[in-house]
Amino acid sequence: MTARTSNRQAAWVPQSEFAARIASARQLQTFNDLSSFAINFDVLRSVKPDIEMAGNKSSTLCLWETRSSSGFITKPRVAVDILTVRFIANGHIIYRNQSGKTQGTPKYATLVDFEDVSEIQASPAFSAINGTITLEALSAANAALTGGQPALPAFAPIADVATPGMIALFLMMRQVQRRGQEAGRGGDIAFPLVQEILSYQLLSVWPRRAGVATIATTDATASRFTIALDFIEANLSQPLTLSLIAAAAGLSVRSLQSQFRNRTGQTAIAFITERRLARTHEDLTSASAAAVPIAEIARRWGFVHMSDFGQRYKRVYGRTPSQARREAGRRG
């Protein structure tokens, strides 16, 4: 194991849920001493620190919210191959890079390579939603998306948050962060797919530096798309990712997504959710599963948020899951 690999592992420990409040110099020092993150905190102009963080971290992706009335400075403490995305709600943030300086504001989100950063300074009254992904994971996602192109595009350092693609990316980051904390406790089989979609969204919507060409893709055949549908149907009760489905069908992820849009008028994730909902309906109205709790059936098919499941079910079947079960019982 190289020193670089050892440093990366020390700075990237998966946590289904984490939260920290730093309100004194002692707490700041303790956080820095015990932290599993790749940075050390300091505060501005020796003011009393006031920093809050809460989020979750998988083996490849970390999503968290930051709030700080005091502002802060962070500096890398180890070398890690990661990219960090930030959507700033209040205040501003400045990255001092080897190649210059980048500033993020509520109008402009930022994307920075951790290796290029020497210091990050957040203003007082700062808050943001943040996401960090390993370059290894993003390169793998890019290879799956493009059908074998592992080299990442040259991303622009800032992006206008008002574009439809960036709005969708922000909403997805917030959803995955919240879902990830519950997935760690409950084993959400849909979470790997949701997390993967976030990677593809980032690759698809984040602007490129000027002069970078877009990689063309080819259409998949109808027979390969049929294989993808069969694979989904056979594995609905298991964690599914688009890269797994695409590999089984011999497609790139981008081709798979294109085929879903063209042939079903849906995204792949919407199609999978629809099929899992149909399987849930079959179990709920089956006499053989009459004694199985509704929540257990829902979780079996990937629905861990019961209020969301109930709303989805009622939109499709016109009644609540419990009503559907009672009606099936009377018919039986």
Instruction: Give the pair of three-digit tokens for residue 157.
Output: 């350092």
CA distance 316 to 274: 9
Q: What is the three-class DSSP state of 165?
A: helix
Q: Does the structural domain 3-135 have CATH classification 2.60.120.10?
A: yes
Burial class (CB in 10 A: 0-12, 13-18, 19+), 272: buried
Partnered with residue 113 across adjacent β-strands are 83
Name residue, tokens 């629809």: 274
Tens digit of each residue's pLDDT (9 = 90 or more) over 42-52: 876 557 899 99
- pLDDT greater than 50 at residue 212: no
Q: What is the pLDDT of residue 44?
A: 64
Tens digit of each residue's pLDDT (9 = 90 or more) over 26-76: 888 888 887 777 788 887 655 789 999 988 888 888 899 999 999 999 988
CA distance 27 to 31: 6
Mean pLDDT computed over every residue of the chain: 83
Query: How far separated are the first and last CA of the chain, in Å rounded?
Result: 62
Name residue, tokens 């968290």: 64
CA distance 188 to 197: 15
Residue-range domain boundaries for the chain: 3-135, 272-331
Element (H, E) at 326: helix 321-331
Q: What is the pLDDT of residue 183?
A: 55
Q: What is the pLDDT of residue 210?
A: 63
Tens digit of each residue's pLDDT (9 = 90 or more) over 73-110: 998 887 778 899 999 999 999 998 766 788 899 999 99
- Of 266, 303, 270, nearest to 284 (Cα)? 303
- pLDDT greater than 50 at residue 276: yes
- pLDDT greater than 70 at residue 211: no
- pLDDT greater than 60 at residue 221: no
pLDDT range class, residue 213, cuts 50, 70, 90: very low
Question: Per the confidence metrics, is the pTM higher than 0.85?
Answer: no
Name residue, tokens 């920075």: 112
CA distance 134 to 195: 13
CA distance 223 to 65: 44
